[in-house]
Amino acid sequence: MQQTIQKKTPVTIVLFSGDMDKAMAAFVIATAAASMGMPVSIFFTFWGLNVIKKKGGLIKGQHWMQKMLNIVNYGHARKLALSKLNMLGMGPVMMKEMMSKKRVPSMDEFIKTAAALGVKFYPCEMSMTVMGLKKEDFIDECGEVIGAVSYLSIAKESNINLFI
């Protein structure tokens, strides 16, 4: 066991989902792996981009359909829906309350902790183009914007690859 870990086992996570519960799962694994000294990269694609969006700025994009999508799909780390029992936003409020009682970090804290541990955040270029999002629309913790090939070049060197 010692041997395998000493070699450094990189972890990559594709966060496709923009749901709070799924994003939490991704960040729990990311921070735990980073604490074990594993280099971690998270690729945010499609709905997952919501997790790393900056707060504010309702209208984004150029095309009217992009603008409409971004209004309807407005979100950031503190405003994510649950994949189940969302109940028009009541679910996440109750879930956050229960989690803070058990001192589970919030999404914001998870992002800060992950960044402090050296977890790399990569937004997906293609999803950004489709949705009309720019690098400036994302939080400062974000690294460079990359495409599928760059993701695969990192993923093929990794021992653990997750799609959430």
Partner 1 sequence: MSQFTADKTLDARGLSCPMPSVKTALALEAMTQGQVLLVLTDDPVSKRDLPVWAEATGNTLVGLEEEGPTIKIFVKKG
The residues of the shown chain that bind partner 1, judged by CB under 8 A, are 1-2, 5-6, 28, 31-32, 34-37, 102-105, 113, 116-117
- Report, in Å, the least distance between residue 106 CB and partner 1: 12
Output 117 or 162, the one with its CB closest to partner 1.
117
The whole-angstrom separation of Cα 151 and Cα 155 is: 6
- Report, in Å, the least distance between residue 42 CB and partner 1: 15
Buried b (16+ CB within 10 A) or exposed e, 20-57: bbbbbbbbebbbebbeeebbbbbbbbbbbbbbbbeeee
The whole-angstrom separation of Cα 142 and Cα 149 is: 18
- Report, in Å, the least distance between residue 143 CB and partner 1: 20
The whole-angstrom separation of Cα 129 and Cα 119 is: 24
- Report, in Å, the least distance between residue 1 CB and partner 1: 6
User: Can you give the length of the chain in residues?
Assistant: 164
- Report, in Å, the least distance between residue 23 CB and partner 1: 15
Q: Is 83 helix (H, G, I), strand (E, B) or coil?
A: coil
Output 99 or 154, the one with its CB closest to partner 1.
99
- At 138, which amino acid appears? F
Cite the DSSP H helix spans in the chain.
2-6, 20-35, 64-72, 90-101, 107-116, 125-131, 148-155
Output 5 or 68, the one with its CB closest to partner 1.
5
